[in-house]
Structure 1
Amino acid sequence: MVSFLTKYKEAAASALLLVAALILEHAFSFPNQHYVYLTLYGLSYLVVGGPVWMSAFRSIKKGTIFSEFLLMGIATVGAFAIGEYAEGVAVMLFYMIGEYAQSNAVHRARHSIKTLIDQQPDVAMVERDGVALMLHPSKVKVGEVIQVRPGEKVPLDGELLTEKASFNTAALTGESKPMSRKSGDEIWAGSINQDQPVRIKVTSRHEDTKLSNILEMVQEAAQRKAPTQRFMTKFARVYTPIVVWLAVGLTFLPYLMVDTYLFQEWFYRALVFLVISCPCGLVISIPLGYFGGIGAASRNGILLKGSDYLDQLRKMKTLFLDKTGTLTEGSFEVQEIHPVNGYSKEELLQLAASLEQQSTHPIGKAILNRSNGQLLHDVEGQQEISGKGLKGRIDQREVLLGNRQLLVDNGIKIQANGFSDPNTYVYLGVDGKHAGTISIADRIKEDSKQAIDKLRSLGVNELIMLSGDNQDVVDHVAGKLGLDAAYGSLLPDQKYKHVEQALHPSKTVGFIGDGVNDAPVITLADVGIAMGGIGSDATVETADVVIQTDQPSKIPVAIDIARFTHRVVWQNIGFALGIKVLIMGLAMVGFASMWAAIFADVGVALIAIANAIRIQNKFSDSSSWGLSGSSSQGLSSEAPATCCDAC
């Protein structure tokens, strides 16, 4: 509670002073009471109204006389002039709360980009003067040697000194298969050492690593992505001068038109007119629709970081998609087992799993997972054939397991297996004969095809895959899903260039991904979408939309929600403006009181709430999409912080 009051001290102070003034005005009676509560109202107003008036003056200095800031100021001063002190303060207080929500959402997103991406390895074990020292990577010099243990991230770019090693580079390249490296090969910061301690000669300073370059691209993209101009700013350019001049006319023109002109009477009507014209009702009713959309999305496991992105989703016609972890599961699985020469699938899998039972390699793990705990054989004399596979004796039989070259080198003729997919193939040889082939690949998610088909039906007519995986695999997955184009073997900057070239004011471009390598592109795109369940922290924080359940089919759900929300928002705008214009007309002829003004704001807001509830009800059940397990816990709390973005 204390931290909340500190962070929003102006609004909190104004609210407390307003409550104190209302209590003193209506609950007590004592001499000079009027001066006391009027002073409290004035202080309450100055705390929240001061910044708005300053914004109005700055706007005037820049040449924009009639802004929403000026209208707020004039209307609330008018409320004070006719004795509606609480109304004047409340209008300004609600306006400031909306501004807080807008600025905080932007600040939080920008700050988290740097904070989370900077969570790259902050310690390097460097060999210096015959001793291994733990230093911050920025303290390590080019040319020095660092040590990286299994499971640790490489802190700096360098050249591998160890004879051979395996690294998971998915966070940087999107490549689903771990990369085998030999002595002399380049190793990137952010890669994860898979299986053994390694020594690396540093070739780049801390600020020049691939991971640091990703951060720079994120920041550049964030600067290039201009915020959507808010509806109220556009609206105020026309609305504000009209109502101000109408109020001036309402004060003085009757002098020329009526016989018994009383300045006080017409000035009072003009002030009531101005109070009614204050767009507080619109300020509330617009985000209510977006709040409904954000809430409906969260119930379906979709986190929207602002109402602007509902509009961007609605207009999106081009979508770039990452492959690994986005359209595919991001983990290896055995796809098919093809035995030959009289072996059964069960026997083939048992032999392969027996050789791999001590393996930490993802391919070995995939075979072990498929064996599902079945009894494995003891292996004698097992040895690893560098870059090719494994060799050992099982029940007096010599068994080979590895790539094609391993069997060829041992004089084993490989029989055709009928596989055509560009998967990873593991070959098994027993006593000099080919025993069978196991196909291993990253599996396409169950709902990926459904998502692509639904996106096309919604008018997203350009669907393009960008991936770090090799081109054959990318083409295979794209063909199965029916994508328009697919580009493989891409580094982060190459993905960035593809999306950058597609950006154009006439169309809205989206990108969806999950790895750190996708963070710059997600930030650059008009609407960046991240897979939140398996995605990296940096990617989730830079994204505009987060799919909490990692289901691609949530993207068309989000688009449907965005389009329905758009209709509801404009219904609310039309209704709010209609009621306001009607009561403003009544005020001009003297038939509208402050109670009518309150209805024009509060009544409209309540009706808008009822209308916005329709969004929640319409999208409360995701079963029609064939989805399950939507996780919206913890998401709805974000909505209030972003629902005022449109104001």
Structure 2
Amino acid sequence: MISALLLAGALIIEFAVAFPHRQYLYLPLYTGSYLVVGGPVWIKAFKSIRDGTIFSEFLLMGIATVGAFAIGEYAEGVAVMLFYMIGEYAQHGAVHRARHSIRELLDQQPEVATVEREDGIRQVHPAKVEQGAVIRVKPGDKVPLDGELLDDRASFNTAALTGESRPMSRRRGEEIWAGSINLQSPVRIKVTNGYEDTKLSKILTMVQEATQRKAPTQRFMTKLAKVYTPTVVWLAAALTFLPYFFVETYLFREWFYRALIFLVVSCPCGLVISIPLGYFGGIGAASRNGILFKGSDFLDRLRRMDTLFMDKTGTLTMGNFEVQGVHSINGFDRDELVQLAASLEQHSSHPIGRAILQHTNGQPLQSVARQQEISGKGLRGTIGNKEVLVGNRSLLADHNIRAHTNELQSPHTQVHVAVDGLHAGTISIADQVKADSGHAVRGLRDRGIGTLTMLSGDSQKVVDHVAGMLGLDQAHGDLLPDQKYARVEQALAADHPVGFIGDGVNDAPVITLADVGIAMGGIGSDATVETADVVIQTDQPSKIPVAIDIARFTHKVIWQNIAFALGIKALVMVLATLGMATMWEAIFADVGVALIAIANAIRIQYHFTDEDFSLPSAPPSSAGRGSTEADCCCTC
């Protein structure tokens, strides 16, 4: 503001007032105006030189404006620096807003937790609340820590975490995330994670780290700027002196002025800042929709992806299993069969194991000795004097046990139970396809994903059934974790940009291997979320097409900025060389173009905010998790 007022005063005195020696009035005003805005730029230039970067955009602006003063173009010299600083403030403001919007979106953790203690109710900072403590949350308040609901039923707004505007209903024993807003009656929650380990804290950390990871386009522009800036300085010097040898009437002032315009136009600052700002916008837009990118380079990778491998259970299906039937043979009782299987599964976190436990109807479980998990096949242990096996057909075959099955024709998973080398029976369990899985597959098709393949540890019959319902290209069942890995590795060898989406701990190696590893963040294991490149907080596969849209739109805007900025700069450089441009055109080509590019990048942050990504109102018909085989060792 001070610089602008001084500049306005100097212009009035120079051009609107007629009296002798008025230069003694307007020159100090021009100088003062220049020092106000030019001083900080020269300080940055000297610091850059001290740090080893001689040719920076600060030095370009400094040389150009001092040169303008040297040839008597005071107003243009001050105007260049003034508008340059206005552009700098606009750039920093835009970046600050982009970062702040991300932090504001996610940093929902309250500063106070209401804790039940022996001496009464106490309000403390969430960092001081230990695991296992019971906290209370009033309607309208945010949940301060992750926990387990102790009340029968409650409803929460999780939009800040998942991007899902619809209320999330929870029942007793189900997980509640920090940052959720209690919508109805007061609730009691048992704390399960410390302050630093909540999902909210992890989300915020991931997004902050994401803004530090550069995409190939960013890295290219950073490298280009290091070569580009010194190159234009030498070209400007050549434009000043070389015409002396080639033109008949060489005037130093004329060619020096053209070189100064060349320097102003060539400043890359607006272009360099608008590119990372575009990626910030993409990451922020994704966060608003419950999609976390762990780096801007993954936006570029997802945009190019043409092959996607998908886990089944918990990814395309709900993972909420229920026992459909129990078939006992060889004289075993059905209740005894369930009790033996549940005893072996009592410490399992796998959905199939939980389904069997829920079917015990309160039967007492027996202690298990020498329990062993056999990866991809099942469990073995000793209950009393009996050796019990619970798992799939392969587990029985490994122990030379012949499976006598009366398998249902509907797509149900069959968990086999064997006792002392004898097949005791089969427990039939079913799952459901997620309501939006079909929506996701159609969306991926519409976006040109050429190959959609399901990889599962479940039986081939189950996998074929679900793949047929969804219209997938290929489906491979009965896979162990290393076999999943080999399938994806084979696709990578064919030089296709490959993605993999899963949720189980066994999926972590494959997610790491893929070009784009996508994890279901709500139900996914910590290991899977940690290794993933993209995290879907809502556990909705339909978010993947949304993520692709955001990645492609971000790429489109960034290259619009690059093409527009370079095109205008090149045009004005040519005009400056030919003597057909003034410093005012140079100001537009630098500051004006930068501001337009920044405004274009900012719109990414808001482009997807109001989009309608609603899902089908009715879920598809029930689809079993499987038909004949189970994978009780988390290989789904």
TM-score by length of 2: 0.53
1:626 matched to which residue of 2?
Answer: 615
1:454 matched to which residue of 2?
Answer: 443
2:63 matched to which residue of 1?
Answer: 78
2:46 matched to which residue of 1?
Answer: 46
Deviation (angstroms), 1:580: 2.1
Unaligned runs of 5+ in 2: 9-27, 70-76, 100-212, 329-333, 372-378, 384-389, 394-403, 418-423, 618-636
2:322 matched to which residue of 1?
Answer: 334
Question: Residues 307 and 602 (structure 1 numbering): CA distance in 2 closer, same or farther, change over 3 Å?
Answer: farther
Q: Distance in 2 between matches of 1:437 and 1:49?
A: 76
Secondary structure, aligned partner of 1:298: helix
Q: Distance in 2 between matches of 1:232 and 1:96?
A: 17
Secondary structure, aligned partner of 1:521: helix
2:525 matched to which residue of 1?
Answer: 536
Question: Residues 91 and 269 (structure 1 numbering): CA distance in 2 closer, same or farther, change over 3 Å?
Answer: farther
Structure 2 matches for 1:16-27, cutoff 5 A?
A: none
1:587 matched to which residue of 2?
Answer: 576
Deviation (angstroms), 1:270: 0.8
Q: Distance in 1 between matches of 2:233 and 2:527?
A: 47
Q: Distance in 1 between matches of 2:429 and 2:537?
A: 27
Structure 2 matches for 1:191-230, cutoff 5 A?
A: 228=216, 230=219
Secondary structure, aligned partner of 2:216: coil
2:544 matched to which residue of 1?
Answer: 555
Question: Residues 73 and 526 (structure 1 numbering): CA distance in 2 closer, same or farther, change over 3 Å?
Answer: farther
Secondary structure, aligned partner of 1:328: coil
Q: Distance in 2 between matches of 1:548 and 1:383?
A: 37
Q: Distance in 1 between matches of 2:616 and 2:574?
A: 51
Q: Distance in 1 between matches of 2:476 and 2:429?
A: 22
Deviation (angstroms), 1:506: 4.9
Q: Distance in 2 between matches of 1:389 and 1:358?
A: 7
2:413 matched to which residue of 1?
Answer: 423
Q: Distance in 2 between matches of 1:539 and 1:357?
A: 28
Deviation (angstroms), 1:569: 2.5
Q: Does the CA-based 8 Å contact 2:311-2:454 persist in structure 1?
A: yes
Opposite residue 518 of structure 1, the aligned amino acid is: D
Q: Does the CA-based 8 Å contact 2:274-2:601 persist in structure 1?
A: no
Number of aligned residues: 437
Q: Distance in 2 between matches of 1:438 and 1:34?
A: 84
Question: Residues 567 and 532 (structure 1 numbering): CA distance in 2 closer, same or farther, change over 3 Å?
Answer: same
Q: Distance in 1 between matches of 2:366 and 2:489?
A: 51
Query: Is residue 2:471 matched to residue 1:503?
Result: no
1:545 matched to which residue of 2?
Answer: 534
Identity of aligned residues (%): 56
TM-score by length of 1: 0.52
Q: Distance in 2 between matches of 1:416 and 1:553?
A: 37
Opposite residue 424 of structure 1, the aligned amino acid is: Q
Opposite residue 296 of structure 1, the aligned amino acid is: A
Question: Residues 564 and 50 (structure 1 numbering): CA distance in 2 closer, same or farther, change over 3 Å?
Answer: same
Q: Distance in 2 between matches of 1:274 and 1:21?
A: 22
Question: Residues 43 and 470 (structure 1 numbering): CA distance in 2 closer, same or farther, change over 3 Å?
Answer: same
Any idea what the Cα deviations from partners look like across 1:355-408, whole Å, max 9, x if unmatched? 97998466574367589xxxx7988x99999989999xxxxxxxxxx9999xxx
Secondary structure, aligned partner of 2:540: coil
Deviation (angstroms), 1:552: 1.0
Q: Distance in 2 between matches of 1:612 and 1:97?
A: 13
Q: Does the CA-based 8 Å contact 2:323-2:355 persist in structure 1?
A: no
Question: Residues 616 and 236 (structure 1 numbering): CA distance in 2 closer, same or farther, change over 3 Å?
Answer: closer
1:602 matched to which residue of 2?
Answer: 591
Structure 2 matches for 1:432-511, cutoff 5 A?
A: 439-469=428-458, 473-488=462-477, 490=479, 492-503=481-492, 506-511=495-500
Deviation (angstroms), 1:532: 1.9
Secondary structure, aligned partner of 1:444: coil
Question: Residues 25 and 45 (structure 1 numbering): CA distance in 2 closer, same or farther, change over 3 Å?
Answer: farther
1:267 matched to which residue of 2?
Answer: 256
Q: Does the CA-based 8 Å contact 1:328-1:445 persist in structure 2?
A: yes
Q: Distance in 2 between matches of 1:404 and 1:575?
A: 60
Structure 1 vs Structure 2 CA RMSD: 5.7
Residue range with higher mean Cα deviation, 272-281 or 539-548: 539-548
Q: Does the CA-based 8 Å contact 2:346-2:357 persist in structure 1?
A: no
Secondary structure, aligned partner of 1:439: strand
Any idea what the Cα deviations from partners look like across 1:520-568, whole Å, max 9, x if unmatched? 4333322222222223344333332221211111111111222233333
Any idea what the Cα deviations from partners look like across 1:175-209, whole Å, max 9, x if unmatched? xxxxxxxxxxxxxxxxxxxxxxxxxxxxxxxxxxx
Question: Residues 336 and 598 (structure 1 numbering): CA distance in 2 closer, same or farther, change over 3 Å?
Answer: farther
Deviation (angstroms), 1:510: 1.5
Deviation (angstroms), 1:318: 1.1
Q: Distance in 1 between matches of 2:269 and 2:257?
A: 20
Q: Distance in 2 between matches of 1:471 and 1:253?
A: 76
Q: Does the CA-based 8 Å contact 2:412-2:429 persist in structure 1?
A: no
Q: Does the CA-based 8 Å contact 1:75-1:271 persist in structure 2?
A: no
Q: Does the CA-based 8 Å contact 1:289-1:572 persist in structure 2?
A: no
Unaligned runs of 5+ in 1: 1-18, 55-69, 105-224, 341-347, 392-401, 406-413, 428-433, 629-647
Q: Distance in 2 between matches of 1:567 and 1:50?
A: 37
1:315 matched to which residue of 2?
Answer: 304
Opposite residue 421 of structure 1, the aligned amino acid is: P
Secondary structure, aligned partner of 2:600: helix
Opposite residue 322 of structure 2, the aligned amino acid is: V
Any idea what the Cα deviations from partners look like across 1:456-503, whole Å, max 9, x if unmatched? 232211222334455555444444433333444555554444333322
Q: Distance in 2 between matches of 1:319 and 1:271?
A: 52
Deviation (angstroms), 1:317: 0.9
Secondary structure, aligned partner of 2:498: strand
Deviation (angstroms), 1:45: 2.5
Question: Residues 520 and 592 (structure 1 numbering): CA distance in 2 closer, same or farther, change over 3 Å?
Answer: farther
1:295 matched to which residue of 2?
Answer: 284
Deviation (angstroms), 1:423: 0.3
Question: Residues 545 and 52 (structure 1 numbering): CA distance in 2 closer, same or farther, change over 3 Å?
Answer: farther
Q: Distance in 1 between matches of 2:295 and 2:517?
A: 12
Question: Residues 39 and 245 (structure 1 numbering): CA distance in 2 closer, same or farther, change over 3 Å?
Answer: closer
Deviation (angstroms), 1:300: 1.6
Question: Residues 553 and 502 (structure 1 numbering): CA distance in 2 closer, same or farther, change over 3 Å?
Answer: same
